[in-house]
Amino acid sequence: MFKRFSGAIAARRMLLERCLPLKDIEELNTSCALDRVASEDIRSSADLPAFDRSAMDGYAVRSTDTKGARPSGPRFIPDFIPQRTGMVVPEGYDAIVMLEDARVRGEVLEVTAEAHAYKNVARAGEDVMEGDTIFTEGHRLRPPDLALISALGIDRVRVYAKPDVVIIPTGGKLVDIGARRLEPGEAYEINGLMARLYIEKWGANVRKTKIVPDDSERIREAISSNLDADMIVIIGGTSVGEKDYAPRILSEMGELYVHGVRLQPGKPTAFGDVAGRPVICLPGYPVAALSNLYLFIRPAIKRMAHLDDEPQRVQARVVRKMTSKPGYLSLVRVAFREDGQVEPIMVSGAGILSSVARADGFVVVPEELEGFEEGDMVEVVLYE
Amino acid sequence: MFKRFSGAIAARRMLLERCLPLKDIEELNTSCALDRVASEDIRSSADLPAFDRSAMDGYAVRSTDTKGARPSGPRFIPDFIPQRTGMVVPEGYDAIVMLEDARVRGEVLEVTAEAHAYKNVARAGEDVMEGDTIFTEGHRLRPPDLALISALGIDRVRVYAKPDVVIIPTGGKLVDIGARRLEPGEAYEINGLMARLYIEKWGANVRKTKIVPDDSERIREAISSNLDADMIVIIGGTSVGEKDYAPRILSEMGELYVHGVRLQPGKPTAFGDVAGRPVICLPGYPVAALSNLYLFIRPAIKRMAHLDDEPQRVQARVVRKMTSKPGYLSLVRVAFREDGQVEPIMVSGAGILSSVARADGFVVVPEELEGFEEGDMVEVVLYE
């Protein structure tokens, strides 16, 4: 029996209390900092633009010289300088007359529209002033943000280091993908690949160990030798059988605070803490592992990485009754139909990975509901 | 004046008619094919599982031997084999009795629950059968998909090649980011960085050329020497001034079918076709360039790459009146407030990149509207 059986939401809360935002910092070239999170406020040490700049092709003039100009009463100005967009507005001039409002007549400029002071001039510092805070600590750096930082001549930025996650696949009959053909009774170790690809996508660095056999001592060693990581994910051996070593090892090496959650699929999971490091045990059944990845590991990684994005969600109508286990939080796989409605994929068996292949996402059914009725609007979380 | 002035939606339609899904194919290791698109149906050449597999820890039995077993009337079975989850079910046995329903009594197994045929057995091929099509052409390969393909022993997959995009930044007073300090009147070339980071994120390979000066012949050369690309993006010199060479060059080298769009910001754009290659001209003002990136380049790249994802959208209430230019499609930058409502950032001036830094996304105001009223629900497209 599960020793520390928990509700799914309570289990997640306990996990997140132990997965704090990391404090490690690294300095990167600005152009390499895409989607990283600023670890300090970013301030400008310059004005942008650095000078009064023409915002249009036209002619630099003194605005007072254009006073009253109109098509039926043009002004003729002797003192003007042709300008292109982006050029420095010359000293002593304070407005740009657009090409369509002016024409050169020999030595003078005929102006047919009044230009007030700083008309068509991008003033020094109008975008950013020296000393302005342009991004605050915690801001994710998007492409236009890195462009702005670069425009200010800031070549290096400080960002939070990515969490380092170690994945330890365990199991006696597992073979590395592509290593060799399988003997009867063997299977390829695929959960490690799935977990690595998701965890990297969510913003962490991942290191995957060799497959560790179902051997208490070897699993213990694998944990001990990876305590430099920010999080350890053990795959397999998480249930309550004789050889389900992982949860027992956690309680011996540190604290086991969750073992078994009211989550379907994904019940046989376990969370522990070894030497201050969160350790998460994923079940070996891939669909159960996927539930755990989305419900627990994604928010934990995001929190450690100072990121707060959510997976994309779409509202849709469900075409058939969708049942779930009472008292359990359920993640029900669904597929969109041509007409935009969704169909639940009610396949039992957490081993059936092809049910995910056919799914576009999943619907979260809260513990207190027993599903949704045909025609109900549901929120579909799209698989990333 | 703009020669081929178009509505924004019409311009996009014309562009997309010329940006067809690419047919080039490449073969990758399965574990390296994340987020790539299958260029052919993927079929299984094996059953998954490859054998009848125990779905539980327990005992393999003949189901007929358990007939009628119940707690008050157990059956005693001499012929049984202990099983762990995932093991091959031995020849001649057809059910697994769970640990909690059985106890070994000397030489026999006491069974307290009836097990029908194939109870707790994952049958060979129940996930995937030999010959099944597991993914159809056009499917984006997500982490669990690559896990499934790997489970079937398929080490290589064929996917569509990514579009190759060449970015050509143009301008006389531009300096490469970080190359040196700026002289008065100069600026760093930042649009190329912003465009590269977005276009890569959207699924293309990007090559950026050196900055090309405002010189008709040099721009022409830069286009000619990059016609091996699937798309060319020219930045700067797209308007109607004397030195705005790019559109004129397109009409000379091939076809110029859009010059100027009713889009705010982002009006001075141009689309052409040179030797069958789409060429898109982005304005040099970064906020205008960003509008064009989202409205035109994103869907064009996605279409060429066989991808169909949309940027994430969120519904929110707008706290202040949001005005837009009548007859123009407008992308209005907005920022979320603490209370979840959005505030429009009504900064005119497509040069003001800090307005994007403060924005979380944008609201698309259709041509036929003149904005939104305070309190209206709007759809916010989040900046990626």
pLDDT digits (tens, 9 = 90+) for A319-343: 999 999 989 999 999 999 999 999 9
B202 interfaces chain A, CB cutoff of 8 Å: no
Instruction: Report CB contact under 8 Å: A148, B193.
Output: no
Q: Which residues of chain B have pLDDT under 50?
A: none
CA distance B304 to B160: 10
The ipTM of this complex is: 0.94
The pLDDT value given to residue A240: 72
> In this structure, which amino acid lies at residue B47?
D
CA distance B118 to A77: 97
CA distance B131 to B136: 13
CA distance B199 to B195: 6
Residue of B nearest to A139 (CA): B357
The pLDDT value given to residue B244: 84
Shortest distance between the Cα of B364 and any Cα of chain A, in A, equals 18
- A 308-327: CB under 8 A from B: 312
Looking at chain B, list the stretches that DSSP marks H as alpha helix, in order from N- to C-terminal side. Answer: 8-18, 143-151, 191-201, 216-224, 245-253, 286-292, 298-304, 354-357
pLDDT in tens, B309-338: 999 999 999 999 999 998 999 999 999 999
In A, which residues are within 8 Å of B50 by CB distance? 182, 184
The pLDDT value given to residue B350: 76
Average pLDDT, chain A: 95
The pLDDT value given to residue B172: 87
Q: How many of the other CB atoms lie within 10 Å of CB of A119?
A: 20
Shortest distance between the Cα of B150 and any Cα of chain A, in A, equals 6
B235 interfaces chain A, CB cutoff of 8 Å: no
Instruction: Report CB contact under 8 Å: B147, A193.
Output: yes
The pLDDT value given to residue B239: 75
Shortest distance between the Cα of B257 and any Cα of chain A, in A, equals 24
**Phi and psi of B166, rounded to 5°?**
-110, 130
Cα three-residue angle A171-A172-A176, rounded to 5 degrees: 75
Cα three-residue angle A42-B207-B143, rounded to 5 degrees: 75
Instruction: Report CB contact under 8 Å: B191, A147.
Output: yes
Shortest distance between the Cα of A44 and any Cα of chain B, in A, equals 11
CA distance B8 to B292: 10
Q: Does the pLDDT value for residue A135 go beyond 80?
A: yes
Find which of A88, A136, A142, A380 to mutate to test the B interface (most B CBs within 10 Å of its CB): A142
Instruction: Report CB contact under 8 Å: A284, B34.
Output: no
Find which of A88, A177, A239 to mutate to test the B interface (most B CBs within 10 Å of its CB): A177
In this complex, which of B49, B187, B201 lies closest to A151 when CB atoms are compared?
B187
Q: What interhelical angle do B143-151 and A191-201 show, nearest 10?
A: 160
Shortest distance between the Cα of B328 and any Cα of chain A, in A, equals 20
**pLDDT band for position A286 (cuts 50, 70, 90):** very high
Shortest distance between the Cα of A265 and any Cα of chain B, in A, equals 14
Mean pLDDT of A7-12: 97
Q: How many of the other CB atoms lie within 10 Å of CB of B61?
A: 25
Q: If you count them, how many residues does chain B have?
A: 384
Residue-range domains of chain B with CATH: 6-23+162-304 (3.40.980.10), 25-46+128-160 (3.90.105.10), 53-122 (2.170.190.11), 313-382 (2.40.340.10)
Q: Does the pLDDT value for residue A2 go beyond 80?
A: no
What percent of chain A is modeled with pLDDT above 90?
89
Instruction: Report CB contact under 8 Å: A85, B151.
Output: no
- Going by C-alpha positions, the residue among B196, B135, B127 that lies closest to residue B165 is B196
Instruction: Report CB contact under 8 Å: B88, A184.
Output: yes
Instruction: Report CB contact under 8 Å: A185, B88.
Output: yes
| Residue where the block lists tokens 């109870």 | B119
In B, which residues are within 8 Å of A148 by CB distance? 190, 286, 353-354, 356-357
CA distance A14 to A255: 12
The pLDDT value given to residue A244: 84
pLDDT in tens, A56-65: 889 999 999 9
Q: Does the pLDDT value for residue A239 go beyond 90?
A: no
The pLDDT value given to residue A197: 98
DSSP string, A315-343: EEEBSS-EE--TTSEEEEEEEE-TTS-EE
Q: Does the pLDDT value for residue A137 go beyond 80?
A: yes
- A 265-284: CB under 8 A from B: 284
Instruction: Report CB contact under 8 Å: A357, B290.
Output: no
What percent of chain A is modeled with pLDDT above 70?
99
The dihedral through the CA atoms of B152, B155, B159, B165 has a sign that is positive
Residue of B nearest to A177 (CA): B150
- Going by C-alpha positions, the residue among B338, B379, B374, B347 that lies closest to residue B361 is B379
**pLDDT band for position A242 (cuts 50, 70, 90):** confident
Find which of A51, A81, A190, A297 to mutate to test the B interface (most B CBs within 10 Å of its CB): A190
Sorted by sequence, the CB contacts under 8 Å of residue A59 that are 6+ apart come out as A80, A81, A82, A83, A96, A97, A102, A109, A111
In B, which residues are within 8 Å of A147 by CB distance? 190-191, 193-194, 286, 353
CA distance A243 to B320: 62
A38 interfaces chain B, CB cutoff of 8 Å: no
In B, which residues are within 8 Å of A194 by CB distance? 143-144, 146-147
Using CB atoms within 10 A of its CB, is residue A217 exposed (0-12), middle (13-18) or buried (19+)? exposed
Instruction: Report CB contact under 8 Å: A147, B352.
Output: no
The pLDDT value given to residue B22: 98
